[in-house]
Amino acid sequence: MKKYCRQDHHLMAAWAADCAERVLPFFEKAYPGDDRPRKALETCRAWVSTGVFRMAEIRGASLSAHAAAREAKDNHPAFFAARAAGQAVATAHVPQHAPGAAYYALKAVAAADPALAKAHVAREFAWQSRRLPEHLQQELSGRILVRENSRGISVRIRKGSGF
């Protein structure tokens, strides 16, 4: 697995949280009483700002966001938004989770409006790419594959070497 310097690790976690936060309204609108994905992003941002790492807290926040996703499985935009939050906070532990947050955010955008998924996903992917520092852009956004197919848009993540 590739090693990152502390600054890049923090940049990746902040970026992952930004990606997830953009789609969090899909979850919060459908499940207004469930704050687990929001708390996961707050935990991620706290780690980015303080550098204080408590494995139980990070892991708990990630698992809680993923549990919220499982409970929202019938609402695809909400499901993917909660997954994005779970991946974002997990970036504090392993930086390779950062592309997972972006990936699930794109899946949420596509699921929210299938008829216009191509345009919305392209816009969101461009936004994600612009928010990354240049030296991380190719590596991280290169892991996310957006393709058009007979059913519309396909968003995949590549887990090659170092992942």
pLDDT in tens, 117-127: 999 999 999 99
Helix axes 76-90, 55-71, angle to 10 degrees: 170
DSSP assignment, residue 132?
S
pLDDT tens column, 42-54: 999 999 999 998 9
In the predicted structure, residue 92 carries a pLDDT above the cut 80: yes
Q: Which residues contact 58 (CB under 8 A, 6 or more apart)?
A: 43, 47, 89, 90, 92, 93
For a pLDDT cut of 70, what percent of the chain falls above it? 96
Q: Per-domain residue ranges for the chain?
A: 6-157
Q: What is the pLDDT of residues 27-81, one digit of tens each?
A: 999 999 999 999 999 999 999 999 998 999 999 999 999 999 999 999 999 999 9
pLDDT at 161: 58
